[in-house]
Amino acid sequence: MRASSKVFLEVPLILTIIIGATIPVMTYANENKEGSANLREMVFNLKPDQIGLTKENFKHPVWGIVMETGLSEGYFTLVSLADGTTSLYFSNGGGIIGGGEHENVREASGYFLTGAQHFYKKATKVTKHPAPNDGEVKFYFLTFNETLMYSAPEEKLGNDKNELSELFYAAHGVITELRKLHDK
């Protein structure tokens, strides 16, 4: 599950475009901090049966993966759920919802979620979801029984110096596909 190094090299540009500009792609989350925070909390409080998932119809332990990356002036939250939901929220307000309605995003999101099945056992159980610090990446694995979290420095993940670097690259593959929608 190795993404190309090109994905990582595009990350600063992607983040600059997505965070630094208004992107007329898909449907936007509320253009305020409170709206984005509410969407984030909704994901962490979501139960799999609310989106039609059961252990019988989804045979994998992780039904959702959330990656959050801390920046100097906030953070962003990438969400991929087994029902195809794919969203990107920004702590300073706004975000992109509905990305999973596009096949290229849905495929990248599915790849990210598949990767989560291989790494969730490295994470620890959490009941709270504090925002990441600048330069920190947090992966939240939403399972049928609990939420697990793994945290690592972005620099190590991005330079293939962490055991979850592959998952980090897969997440940035989702962001790349969201960006491609904008470039059309």
Indicate the number of domains in the chain: 1
pLDDT for the residue 87: 92
Q: Beta strand 86-90 with 136-143: parallel, antiparallel or unpaired?
A: unpaired
- What is the domain extent for residue 30? 5-50+57-183
Mean pLDDT calculated for residue range 144-161: 98
* pLDDT tens-digit map of 15-61: 333 333 333 334 444 456 777 788 899 999 999 999 999 999 999 99
Closest CA to 78 of 107, 113, 52: 113
Phi, psi torsion values for 67, nearest 5 degrees: -115, 130
Cβ neighbours of 139 (radius 10 Å): 25
> Does the predicted model carry a pTM greater than 0.85?
no
Angle between helices 165-183 and 103-119 (to 10 degrees): 170
* pLDDT tens-digit map of 57-106: 999 999 999 999 999 999 999 999 999 999 998 898 877 888 999 999 99
Question: Strand runs (DSSP E) across 17-117, as ranges?
Answer: 27-28, 62-71, 74-81, 86-90, 95-97
